[in-house]
């Protein structure tokens, strides 16, 4: 029997594009049940490496960022169908980067200066070290998406109802994502390897890394009720976690606007890290992006909504 990771098809780094478009020529056609491997450069598109300094962020060409790899054509896929994508395997590089990019991120107005953090990824032990903290690796593809319904050419940065740059940390190994097909053949592409990220990705970057992915595709015919991506995650017991189970610490943000409540929760957690853990504000902002989780505590007690950002306390152990 073929191993789970076995694939007939491979999409290499040369199959790169930066627009979601149904005019992109597919690399090959797959059928329901087929498995495909992908080799994706990091989201800087090779502009950053282990020797990069903050000055490299200043000269980063964002027009080159967030390439995706593909597309592949799903035989018989039509609008109204759903493409089911199972994440079978993900291999990250032995390094990654996170950055504060001026003008980008949830607190862009409060963090105007560029910063970079180069990570060494300990793939065997399953974590990345940051001072006295250990960030558990839970890799995923930031980008998995389909071409749009008409002839428009869309940037690969914002996500859409056909997926794309979802940056959804739940889509790791063992998870399945369901994408509503917009055009004949679906035209799936992926990229943007993340070694770890919290819910929210608040500073605008995860631990960005080159990644090799193995995905299995299935076509679900005639599911027009599904109009945006949906997903399934594996049992908790199947998710690798090298950290001790010490609970979480969380900060609330309270405001009449959900976006401001989100900013406030993030700012308050950063303040806690600065006050009690001795981090700089920039370090705390990056840490919040790669391992802090934004939950909506309540969104009904008008006029004040409430967002919580939590951190696993095991990272300090």
For the segment 5-34, give every residue that binds a second copy (CB under 8 A).
Answer: none
Candidate list 26, 70, 96, 229; residue touching a second copy; CB under 8 A: 229
Distance from the Cα of residue 303 to its chain's centroid: 32
Residues of span 198-217 touching a second copy by CB under 8 A: 199-204
Residues of span 169-188 touching a second copy by CB under 8 A: 169-170, 174
Strand partners for 39: 212
Residues 6+ apart with CB under 8 A from 255: 261, 264, 304, 305
Candidate list 91, 123, 258, 316; residue touching a second copy; CB under 8 A: 258
Closest distance of CB 130 from a second copy, Å: 20
Candidate list 54, 93, 153, 249; residue touching a second copy; CB under 8 A: 249
- Nearer to a second copy among residue 77 and residue 270 (C-beta): 270
Residues of span 264-303 touching a second copy by CB under 8 A: 264, 268, 271-272, 275, 293-303
Distance from the Cα of residue 116 to its chain's centroid: 18
- In terms of DSSP H, where are the helices of 16-71? 54-58
109 sits in which H/E element: none
Candidate list 35, 160, 182, 189; residue touching a second copy; CB under 8 A: 160
Residues of span 57-96 touching a second copy by CB under 8 A: none
Query: Distance between CA 9 and CA 37 in Å, rounded?
Result: 6
* CB 225 within 8 Å of CB 235: no
Rg, C-alpha atoms of the chain: 19
- Nearer to a second copy among residue 211 and residue 251 (C-beta): 251
Structure tokens at 246: 């010490």
**Residue 178: closest CA among 195, 191, 166, 192:** 166
Candidate list 250, 277, 281, 282; residue touching a second copy; CB under 8 A: 250
Candidate list 10, 161, 242, 282; residue touching a second copy; CB under 8 A: 161
In Å, how far are 138, 246, 310 from 239, measured between CA atoms? 8, 17, 19
- Nearer to a second copy among residue 93 and residue 254 (C-beta): 254
* Residue 235 binds a second copy (CB under 8 A): yes
- Nearer to a second copy among residue 137 and residue 203 (C-beta): 203
Query: Distance between CA 132 and CA 233 in Å, rounded?
Result: 30
Residues of span 91-130 touching a second copy by CB under 8 A: 104-106
Closest distance of CB 25 from a second copy, Å: 26
């Amino acid at each position: 029997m073929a191993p789970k990771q076995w694939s007939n098809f491979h999409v290499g780094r040369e199959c790169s594009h930066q627009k979601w478009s149904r005019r992109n020529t597919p690399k090959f056609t797959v059928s329901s049940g087929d498995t495909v491997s992908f080799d994706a450069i990091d989201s800087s598109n090779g502009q950053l490496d282990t020797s990069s300094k903050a000055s490299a962020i200043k000269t980063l060409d964002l027009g080159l960022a967030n390439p995706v790899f593909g597309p592949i054509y799903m035989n018989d896929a039509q609008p109204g169908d759903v493409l089911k994508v199972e994440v079978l395997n993900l291999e990250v590089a032995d390094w990654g980067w996170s950055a504060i990019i001026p003008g980008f991120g949830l607190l862009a107005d409060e963090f105007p200066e560029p910063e970079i953090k180069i990570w060494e990824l300990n793939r065997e032990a399953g974590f990345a070290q940051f001072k006295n903290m250990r960030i558990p690796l839970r890799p995923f593809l930031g980008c998995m998406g389909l071409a749009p319904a008409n002839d428009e050419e869309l940037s690969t940065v914002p996500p859409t109802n056909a997926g794309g740059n979802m940056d959804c940390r739940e889509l790791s190994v063992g998870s399945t994502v369901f994408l509503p097909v917009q055009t004949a053949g679906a035209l799936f592409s992926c990229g943007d390897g993340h070694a770890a990220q919290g819910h929210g990705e608040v500073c605008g970057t995860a631990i960005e890394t080159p990644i090799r992915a193995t995905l299995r595709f299935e076509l679900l015919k005639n599911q027009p009720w599904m109009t945006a991506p949906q997903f399934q995650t594996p049992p908790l017991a199947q998710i690798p976690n090298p950290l001790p189970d010490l609970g979480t610490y969380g900060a609330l943000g309270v405001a009449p606007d959900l976006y401001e409540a989100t900013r406030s929760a993030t700012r308050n957690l950063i303040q806690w890290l600065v006050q009690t853990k001795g981090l700089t504000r920039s370090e705390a902002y990056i840490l919040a992006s790669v391992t802090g989780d934004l939950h909506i505590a309540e969104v009904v007690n008008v006029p004040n909504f409430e967002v919580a950002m939590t951190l696993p306390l095991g990272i300090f152990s």
